[in-house]
């Protein structure tokens, strides 16, 4: 990932800085087009960048609420904490939280600004993957909280960092003085400034020498109104007045190794939709149930088709057995072809078709199947397949209750390897009590 440090405002050096890892320094460039040329000239193919934006562009508030309470506020509640200081609609703010055990800071940036920087980056043919305030570039004070601060100063900006979570841009030097005065335990100060800023470095060093001389003199004679070195700049004076031990560093601030993972990254991560474990289980169960239902429906449809084909074949065989001189016409129904030939002299329920139409539902309700059907003028004979002998006896009883005389003949087990029995049922024709039909007594 490449690192770009935006200037507070365009100056004589340029409008942005690019990190040159080989030299461990920031190189000024005039604009985004110059950045594009820089990448092309140096054959840099990695076009994913992190932008370090001016901290003064980022809104910040310190909250006395705990982390749990801030989470309970939710996004909307956190946004409204910036209502008094935001010029844009709070609903457009992108809020991030950075905390220490005793401090909780919220930082916010308007979505329009994020989009503007992303659009500007397209001029250099780069993709912005992270946006961070530039105070993050400063080292984290390592001493106990409030006793050490880190300050960065150059011609473009002045930054102050007091802890891992607190940082700010100083646009007005007296504000820096008041910030340092609010740290009564401050005893160590690290000043980071470019090596070419010799005026500031010399001023700080001279003021430290003067302060040491003044302390020694006061211990001896305590003179009043000791003169201050006239060449010191205002910032050096403010730093010296803090009475803290000042360390000067001319090393350039080093960018983060993984800025996209930082808690203050203002760029929304492109996350894939990840299902929760509960939702995954629900979807899996639903899919499994759907597949199971489809499989059951397919199996039933297959059985139905097999039964249909078998029925058609048995019907054709039986018809050929009855009327071997007349072919079965597939264009008309079986009942239309058979009924005229089986209709007895008197139209009563003793006809073969009438008996068959009455016993067919009863056989189906009993869970049996007819393997063979034959009749003559005296009786109808059925070969039934049943799971047990008792079911055949119950069917005979049920037929008797319906007024149909039925005789159960031989009952034999099915073929080896198959469960159930085969029963021969005979229905004598002409012995039907019509008064019991359909429950009429």
Whichever domain contains 380, its CATH number is: 3.30.70.60
Residue 8 lies in a domain: yes
Residue of 196, 191, 205, 199 lying closest to 160 (CA atoms): 191
Residues 125 and 145 in one domain: no
Structural domain count, the chain: 4
Whole-model pTM: value is 0.58
Mean pLDDT of the region 160-185? 87
Residues 288 and 249 in one domain: no
Residue 114 lies in a domain: yes
- Model confidence pLDDT, tens digit, residues 93-110: 999 999 888 889 999 999
d(CA 416, CA 424): 19
Residues 8 and 121 in one domain: yes
Helical axes 352-365 vs 334-342, angle rounded to 10°:
130
CATH number at residue 84: 3.30.420.380
Rounded to the nearest 10°, the torsion over CA 21, 27, 32, 33 is -100
- Model confidence pLDDT, tens digit, residues 402-421: 888 888 888 888 877 677 88
Last residue of a domain, one of 95, 110, 134: 134
DSSP 353-407: HHHHHHHHHHHHHTT-EEEEEEE-SSEEEEEEEES-HHHHHHHHHHHHHTTB--E
197: DSSP letter: -
Last residue of a domain, one of 229, 258, 287: 258
Residue 10 lies in a domain: yes
d(CA 265, CA 107): 10
Report the largest interatomic distance among the alpha carbons of the chain, rounded to a whole angstrom: 151
pLDDT band at residue 220 under the 50/70/90 scheme: very low
d(CA 158, CA 193): 9
Average pLDDT, the chain: 82
pLDDT band at residue 9 under the 50/70/90 scheme: confident
Residue of 255, 242, 178, 336 lying closest to 6 (CA atoms): 255
Mean pLDDT of the region 237-264? 90
d(CA 359, CA 350): 12
Angle subtended at Cα 425 by Cα 419 and Cα 428, rounded to the nearest 5 degrees: 175
For residue 349, what pLDDT is reported? Answer: 45
Mean pLDDT of the region 329-351? 61
Residue 268 lies in a domain: no
Residue 18 lies in a domain: yes
For residue 226, what pLDDT is reported? Answer: 34
Residue 206 lies in a domain: yes
pLDDT band at residue 273 under the 50/70/90 scheme: low
End-to-end Cα distance, the chain = 95
Q: Is 246 left (phi over 0), alpha (psi -120 to 50) or beta?
A: beta
Q: How many C-beta neighbours within 10 Å does residue 325 have?
A: 5
Residue of 117, 241, 106 lying closest to 178 (CA atoms): 241
Domain residues for the domain of 317 are 276-323
């Amino acid at each position: 990932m490449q690192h770009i440090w935006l200037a507070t405002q365009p100056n004589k050096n340029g409008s942005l800085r690019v990190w040159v890892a080989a030299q461990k320094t920031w190189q000024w460039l005039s604009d985004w087009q110059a950045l594009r040329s820089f990448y092309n000239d140096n054959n840099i193919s990695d076009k994913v960048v992190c932008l370090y934006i001016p901290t003064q562009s980022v809104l910040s508030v310190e909250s006395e609420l705990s982390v749990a309470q801030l989470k309970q506020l939710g996004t909307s509640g956190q946004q409204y904490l910036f209502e008094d200081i935001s010029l844009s609609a709070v609903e457009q703010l992108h809020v991030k939280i950075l905390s220490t055990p005793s401090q909780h800071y919220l930082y916010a940036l308007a979505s329009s600004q994020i989009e503007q920087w992303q659009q500007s980056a397209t001029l250099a043919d780069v993709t912005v993957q992270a946006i961070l305030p530039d105070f993050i570039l400063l080292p984290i004070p390592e001493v106990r909280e409030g006793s050490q601060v880190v300050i960065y100063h150059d011609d473009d900006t002045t930054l102050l960092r007091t802890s891992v979570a607190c940082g700010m841009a100083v646009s007005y030097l007296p504000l820096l003085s008041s910030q340092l005065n609010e740290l009564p335990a401050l005893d160590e100060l690290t000043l980071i400034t470019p090596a070419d800023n010799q005026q500031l470095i010399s001023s700080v060093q001279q003021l430290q020498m003067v302060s040491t001389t003044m302390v020694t003199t006061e211990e001896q004679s305590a003179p009043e109104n000791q003169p201050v070195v006239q060449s010191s700049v205002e910032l050096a004076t403010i730093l010296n007045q803090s009475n803290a031990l000042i360390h000067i560093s001319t090393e350039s601030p080093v960018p983060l190794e993984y800025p996209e993972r930082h808690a203050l990254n203002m760029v929304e991560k492109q996350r894939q939709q990840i299902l929760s474990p509960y939702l995954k289980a629900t979807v899996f169960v639903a899919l499994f149930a759907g597949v199971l239902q489809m499989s059951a429906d397919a199996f039933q449809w297959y059985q139905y088709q097999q039964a249909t084909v078998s029925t058609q074949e048995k019907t054709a065989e039986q018809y050929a057995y009855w009327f071997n001189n007349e072919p079965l016409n597939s264009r008309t129904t079986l009942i239309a072809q058979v009924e005229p030939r089986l209709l007895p002299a008197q139209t009563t329920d003793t006809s073969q078709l009438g008996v068959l139409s009455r016993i067919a539902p009863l056989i189906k309700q009993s869970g049996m199947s007819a393997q063979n059907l034959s009749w003559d003028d005296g009786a109808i004979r059925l070969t039934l397949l049943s799971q047990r002998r008792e079911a055949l006896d119950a069917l005979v009883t049920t037929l008797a209750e319906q007024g149909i005389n039925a005789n159960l003949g031989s009952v034999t087990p099915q073929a080896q390897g198959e469960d159930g029995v085969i029963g021969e049922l005979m229905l004598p024709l002409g012995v039907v009590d019509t008064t019991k039909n359909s429950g009429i007594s």
